Amino acid sequence: MAKRRNRPNGEGRDDDAAPTGTVYPPAERELVVVAEPDAQLRVAEDGISSLAGAETSALTDFLAEEEVSLEPLFGMSEDHLQFNASWVASQTGQEVPDLTPYYRVRADDDRLDALATGLEALPEVAGAYVKPAPVPASAVDVRGGRAAAESAAGIEAPVTADFISRQGYLLAVPGGIDAIWAQTQAGGTGGGVQIVDIEGAWQLSHEDLLQNFGGVLAGTPTTDLAWRNHGTAVVGEFGGDPNGRGIVGIAPAAGVRAASIFGGLGSAGAIRAAADKLNSGDIILIELHRPGPRHNFESRDDQAGYIALEWWLDDFDAIRYAVSRGVIVVEAAGNGAENLDDALYDQPGPGFPASWRNPFDAANPSSQAVVVGAGAPPPGTHGRDHGPDRSRLAFSNFGSRVDAQGWGREVTTTGGRGYNPGDLQGGSDETLWYTDTFSGTSSASPIVVGALASIQGILAARGLARLTPAGAISILRATGSPQMDAPGRPATQRIGNRPDIRAAVAALAPAVVSQGLATQYWHECLAYPTGDTASLWLLVGNAWKRLDDPSASTLDLVQRAFLGTDSRVRVWFQGEEIVGLVVEGS
């Protein structure tokens, strides 16, 4: 039988360098047209009209001469968008951005820039700009080509091993986010929370993503393997199945779906489509970044100058639309090594409308997305050292706009590595691939999503209101393990705290102390997963309660009480955690 390609020590790789060769086949560039809002344009098959009586002949003539057409960017008519916005406002009491002025013009890529220049000069048009093609915000070299995956043919994997011990981000703070503790709490696995991942493609049949992955709700996934490996890795971090093999997600009971920017939907369209399928307190994850003004919006293998999508006005308003519905949006800050507080970002991009304001500047209106930077994992993770734990990784964007951080290196999850099979477990069957080295603000952001989903589940289980988008930002900034300095990368280059689920829950939902008599007990002789503490479990009523790392004298007293006939064990507990106990009687 062929041997499994399984390298748990990850020998032979150097992931410390800045990202190079991260070449994903890009999504298409988009020409976005922003009409003058006061014109109240309406686009139909029989032409363009204005509810305000504005002259539209110049726009009509230009489009006819260029043999192109306008289409609503968000996939529905202006009247439908307006009705939808009114309904959302009536339900939430929130200000809803006006999406009706946004249109798209489709043409061959080499015509887009000239078309944008011509459109911008028209009186009916407030702005016309070409958005650079977005790519996944991963910091791993995806090169090697499809031949690398094809070379794995015939290398079969037997039953997958348990890789949970390699998922250090699940562990207690400060190294992890205390997800293992959260999973012992009612609601802590994210039940009742819905998450939509926005990017390009996913392996929908992966063995560790079968229980709660509900498929693609919008767009058409690309067939490209590197995009598919990326999406699979992202979803595994928060949605991996608790099935005793492979990995487990931070919030494995959360419902997970996906929206692809491919198939003509685009990034802003995907955000709106996802928002309309979610409820208040659910979560959207944006796993993309695109070339910014630092290098004239040019695509680069090293991702230098790449920034978060919200800098472009249509994406910004799409995020604001989701937020107005109460949906928490988590957004990768990007891997461009950029200071988002730089004055460069105050300058509008070519063709931006006069209404645009730099969303990275706290003095301007905020999208209220949770923006996530990439921090170093604890030194020694998988035998490598990327600098002090929770320090900014060199490629991560930073600045006052960044709210929180996650692991930006050494993330163990589902999927392969670029065009290659999994570096932790490979073989010819893509549904069995696992990686030990997922990276970038792409690997950091799902950790924050998982933490938020866990918190939302716990709040709901305790009968409390789920976090709002503003509340999510507030609790991530107020709690968590603080960012650390690294040589040349001081903590003043802000990427924020690493989430601490237990601290966030304590701040949001102090548990009520209850008491009762224990009727059964059992003691873990060895802790699992490795790195956790062994626990004493006592059955109170019909629920098991846990005392971590009990002393030898406590164990002796409890065992004697259950062996005798005249003693009882009274327990005080918060949720599942024992906070006190006494042995009553002789």
Residue length of the chain: 586
Give bridge partners of residue 536 from the DSSP assignment.
523, 547
Residue 190 has pLDDT above 70, yes or no: yes
Pair (148, 228) in one structural domain: yes
Domain stop point among 114, 131, 148: 131
Q: Sign of dihedral through CA atoms 235, 238, 244, 245? A: positive
Domain stop point among 462, 489, 508: 508
pLDDT digits (tens, 9 = 90+) for 276-295: 999 999 999 999 999 999 99
pLDDT of res. 338 = 98
- Asked if residue 282 belongs to a domain, the reply is yes
Coil, helix or strand for 139? coil
Pair (171, 110) in one structural domain: no
Banded pLDDT at 24 (limits 50, 70, 90): confident
Pair (119, 251) in one structural domain: no
Render 148-175 in DSSP notation, one character per residue: HHHTTTT----SPPB-GGG-GGGSSTTT
Pair (125, 57) in one structural domain: yes
3-state secondary structure 61-115: HHHHHHCCCEEECCCCCHHHHHHHHHHHHHHHCCCCCCCCCEEEECCCHHHHHHH
- Asked if residue 455 belongs to a domain, the reply is no
- Asked if residue 261 belongs to a domain, the reply is yes
Q: CA–CA separation, 63 vs 79, rounded Å?
A: 22
Which residue is listed with tokens 């802003």? 268
pLDDT of res. 21 = 46
Q: CA–CA separation, 334 vs 396, rounded Å?
A: 6
pLDDT digits (tens, 9 = 90+) for 41-56: 999 999 999 999 999 9
Virtual CA dihedral for 508, 514, 518, 520, nearest 10 degrees? -30
Q: What percent of the chain has pLDDT over 90?
A: 84
pLDDT of res. 136 = 96
Banded pLDDT at 528 (limits 50, 70, 90): low
Q: CA–CA separation, 121 vs 41, rounded Å?
A: 17
Q: What percent of the chain has pLDDT over 70?
A: 91
Mean pLDDT value of segment 196-208: 98
Pair (112, 245) in one structural domain: no
Pair (81, 210) in one structural domain: no
- Asked if residue 110 belongs to a domain, the reply is yes
Domain stop point among 89, 114, 131: 131
Tokens linked to 567: 């003693």
Q: How many CB atoms lie within 10 A of CB 531?
A: 14
3-state secondary structure 284-323: EEECEEEECHHHCCCCCCCCCCEECHHHCHHHHHHHHHHH
Tell me the pTM. 0.86
- Asked if residue 7 belongs to a domain, the reply is no
- Asked if residue 448 belongs to a domain, the reply is no
Give bridge partners of residue 183 from the DSSP assignment.
none
pLDDT digits (tens, 9 = 90+) for 245-265: 999 999 999 999 999 999 999
Virtual CA dihedral for 500, 504, 510, 513, nearest 10 degrees? -20
pLDDT digits (tens, 9 = 90+) for 86-131: 999 999 999 999 999 999 999 999 999 999 999 999 999 999 999 9
| Cβ 427 vs Cβ 156: under 8 Å | yes
Pair (172, 124) in one structural domain: no
pLDDT of res. 10 = 35
pLDDT digits (tens, 9 = 90+) for 336-367: 999 999 999 999 999 999 999 999 999 999 99
pLDDT digits (tens, 9 = 90+) for 466-518: 999 999 999 999 999 999 999 999 999 999 999 999 999 999 987 678 899 99
Banded pLDDT at 143 (limits 50, 70, 90): low
Pair (197, 212) in one structural domain: yes
Pair (139, 236) in one structural domain: yes
Residue 525 has pLDDT above 90, yes or no: no
Strands 328-332 and 283-286: parallel
Pair (581, 555) in one structural domain: yes
pLDDT of res. 532 = 64
Q: CA–CA separation, 516 vs 539, rounded Å?
A: 9
Strands 255-260 and 194-199: parallel
Phi-psi category of residue 263: left, alpha or beta, with phi > 0 → left and psi -120 to 50 → alpha: left
- Asked if residue 494 belongs to a domain, the reply is yes
pLDDT of res. 530 = 55
| Cβ 297 vs Cβ 441: under 8 Å | no
Mean pLDDT value of segment 401-416: 98
Banded pLDDT at 142 (limits 50, 70, 90): low
- Asked if residue 161 belongs to a domain, the reply is yes
Question: Nearest 5°: phi and psi at 373?
Answer: -100, 175
Q: Which domain holds residue 288?
A: 135-370+385-441+473-508
Task: Share the mean pLDDT of the chain.
Answer: 92
**Separation in Å, CA 439 to CA 19, 170, 238:** 9, 16, 15
For the chain, the distance separating the N- and C-terminal CA atoms, rounded to the nearest angstrom, is 63
The total domain count for the chain is: 3
pLDDT of res. 155 = 54
Q: CA–CA separation, 148 vs 499, rounded Å?
A: 36
pLDDT of res. 26 = 80
Pair (393, 536) in one structural domain: no
374-386 residues labelled b (16+ CB within 10 A) or e (exposed):
bbbbbeebbebeb
Pair (251, 364) in one structural domain: yes
Indicate which CATH number applies to the domain containing 488. 3.40.50.200
Cβ-count burial of 181 within 10 angstroms (0-12 exposed, 13-18 middle, 19+ buried)? Answer: buried
| Cβ 24 vs Cβ 442: under 8 Å | no
